[in-house]
Amino acid sequence: MREIFEAELQQVGDDLTEMSRLVDSAISRAGTALLTADLQLAQSVIADDRAIDQLERDLDERCVLLLAQQQPVATDLRVVVSALRMSATLERMGDLARHIAQVARGRFPRHAIDPSVEATFASMHDAATRVARRTTTLLQTRDLTVAANIERDDDLLDQLHQDTFAALLTDSWTGDAQATIDVTLVGRYYERFGDHGVSVARRVVYLVTGDFAEDRGTPAVSA
């Protein structure tokens, strides 16, 4: 009985890691599609989001079956409940990558991001890609230094997000309403990506240490 349980729990962990890998690929390609106005790449991200959604449904069903058949308690129970939560978070990260790709597709053949803020969005793309990669690593290794690095990249994303507002509010901003909308929405998507990464990181920290950091919530959007 215990062996079956261990195998099923392992499968839940593997599914989470696989979801995270797909999200990692999606956010990486979405950012490239956005910054290079690559229609094909954008379309691939949009199409591939279904695989992430399906994996979430499979994983959730697996968790419910595991709860019903194995009736885990204590730490094992918390692992399964956390997996249910983390799969929902990873699914949302996939959605955000899809939204970024949809903006890239909607503006093609033009670039969605105004040249004056391209460097900021390139930095957001780098930070978000690191968050995704580290989330995968964290799920595989439960190495808590990785969790700390995710928190740092989230802080960076918050700062870059504020930078995008600052750029929009200077006199030198010459973008039209569409450009302002795109910078506002895509900036928001990247910022949320960091929040979700932190949410996964804190759940893993909790599973390892039993200590759940108070959720800081989403930072105020003050601009």
Chain contacts with its own copies (rule: CB under 8 A): 49, 53, 63-64, 67-68, 71, 73-74, 77-78, 81, 84-85, 88, 95, 98-99, 102-103, 106, 165, 168-169, 173, 177-178, 180-181, 184-185, 188, 215, 217-218, 220-223
Query: Could you give the CA distance from residue 187 to residue 183 in angstroms, rounded to a whole number?
Result: 6
b/e for 109-129, b at 16 or more Cβ within 10 A?
eebbbbebbeebbebbbebbb
Query: Could you give the CA distance from residue 81 to residue 132 in angstroms, rounded to a whole number?
Result: 21
Of 141 and 178, nearer to its own copies (C-beta) is 178
Of 35 and 223, nearer to its own copies (C-beta) is 223
Query: Could you give the CA distance from residue 2 to residue 151 in angstroms, rounded to a whole number?
Result: 35
Query: Could you give the CA distance from residue 24 to residue 35 in angstroms, rounded to a whole number?
Result: 17
Neighbour-count burial of 18, counting CB atoms closer than 10 A to its CB (0-12 exposed, 13-18 middle, 19+ buried): middle
Say whether the peptide bond before residue 115 is cis (omega within 30 degrees of 0): no
Report helix, strand or coil for 169.
coil
The distance of closest approach from Cβ of residue 220 to its own copies in the complex, given in angstroms and rounded to an integer, is: 5
Query: Could you give the CA distance from residue 47 to residue 137 in angstroms, rounded to a whole number?
Result: 25
Of 6 and 215, nearer to its own copies (C-beta) is 215
Q: At what angle do helices 144-168 and 118-141 cross, to 10 degrees?
A: 160
The distance of closest approach from Cβ of residue 72 to its own copies in the complex, given in angstroms and rounded to an integer, is: 8
The distance of closest approach from Cβ of residue 143 to its own copies in the complex, given in angstroms and rounded to an integer, is: 25
Of 114 and 153, nearer to its own copies (C-beta) is 114
Of 81 and 144, nearer to its own copies (C-beta) is 81
Residue type, 180: T
The distance of closest approach from Cβ of residue 67 to its own copies in the complex, given in angstroms and rounded to an integer, is: 6
Query: Within a 10 A sphere around the Cβ of 91, how many other Cβ atoms?
Result: 20
The distance of closest approach from Cβ of residue 95 to its own copies in the complex, given in angstroms and rounded to an integer, is: 6
The distance of closest approach from Cβ of residue 180 to its own copies in the complex, given in angstroms and rounded to an integer, is: 4
Of 30 and 146, nearer to its own copies (C-beta) is 30
